[in-house]
Amino acid sequence: MAKPLELDETWIGRIVEQASGLQYGSVIITVHDGRIVQIDRTERTRYDQPSAKQPNHNNNPDKNQGKNDSLRAVQ
């Protein structure tokens, strides 16, 4: 049977500290034998727009060859 979780003010403060300011991500709490033994914080950064320009395919010499073909050879 699982032991009841031992949670004191110290661990509550640590959990709140890890979750504070987290915009995107997760806080994972690892418990062994009813005791918190580890807190992992994973933070994600999301960008609304792509950071790099898309490659320009207008300079591709094979572009105009076989315009009506649905398949083309890869070299």
Residue pLDDT, tens place only, 17-61: 999 989 999 999 999 988 899 999 999 988 887 766 666 655 555
Q: How far apart, in whole angstroms, are the C-alpha atoms of residue 33 and residue 24? A: 30
pTM for the model stands at 0.55
Q: What pLDDT band is residue 13 in, cutting at 50, 70 and 90?
A: very high
Ranges of each domain in the chain: 9-43
**9 pLDDT above the threshold of 90:** yes
Q: Give the mean model confidence (pLDDT) for residues 8-19.
A: 93
Asked if residue 22 lies in contact with residue 15, where contact means CB atoms within 8 angstroms, the answer is: no
Higher pLDDT, 47 or 64: 47
Asked if residue 15 lies in contact with residue 6, where contact means CB atoms within 8 angstroms, the answer is: no
